[in-house]
Amino acid sequence: MFVYLKFLVQFLYNSSRDYIIFIFIRYNMLMKKILILFSGDGFNAQNIVKKLHNKECFVVCGIANKKEAKGLQKLQKLGIKTDVLEHTDFSSREEFDKELVKLVKSYKPDLVVLSGFMRILSEVFTSNIFAINLHPSLLPKYKGTKAIERSYESDDIDAGVSVHFVSGELDAGEIILQSSFQKEKDESLESFSKKIKKIEYEIMPEAILKVLRSL
């Protein structure tokens, strides 16, 4: 009798364990996959991983165009695979983008997320990769570099952050989400930048989920 009960318990335990493993594998297979491109400290990439990875989607890789990008270590500590493709190894923007497209496609992501990726992308990339981008201004204002500084120095009442689809024109793709705040009189650039960063941490995961749920 004891042997029979022991066998039954072991059978039920193994069956339950196998079922849980099956559900886990199945769940991960159904999860949408994203790939993050970044160039620097990777704080936004880190935030995306912490909020979404293995919860709402699966981050297949974080790719930087600089081997010294601090974001690489941040993602590695979170268990995310990372890769580096340095743009300085290529003689033209198009050559770099061609190799980047190959690398990105090798991971088969459903969506590519540009999070502080400091590159102007050519049509070689934009016509081949489905991607979204985070930009620290209320587009269409202040496209391109130094958007925070230009927004801060402007006479605008409102400032904020945009997430948009990547298109062939710089920072001109369809807006997915925007969030804003009112500028304060005599506010420092440091305080202003912190507000922008706070919104970035909130809006990017929301935008990613909005796009993934539409696929």
Beta carbons of 161 and 136 less than 8 angstroms apart: yes
Integer CA distances (angstroms), 183 to 16, 150, 158, 194, in order: 56, 13, 6, 12
Return the SS3 of 113: strand
List, for residues 17-63, the tens digit of each pLDDT value.
665 554 544 444 478 999 999 999 999 999 999 999 999 999 999 99
- Per-residue pLDDT, 117: 96
Query: Which superfamily does 32-214 belong to?
Result: Formyl transferase, N-terminal domain (3.40.50.170)
| pTM for this predicted structure | 0.85
Q: Six-digit token pair at 120?
A: 């102007």
Q: Is 30 or 126 the better-scoring residue by pLDDT?
A: 126
Which residue numbers are catalytic?
135
* Domains of the chain, residue spans: 32-214
Give CA–CA dist 20/209, Å, rounded. Answer: 26
- Tell me what the pLDDT averaged over the chain comes to: 91
- Per-residue pLDDT, 73: 97
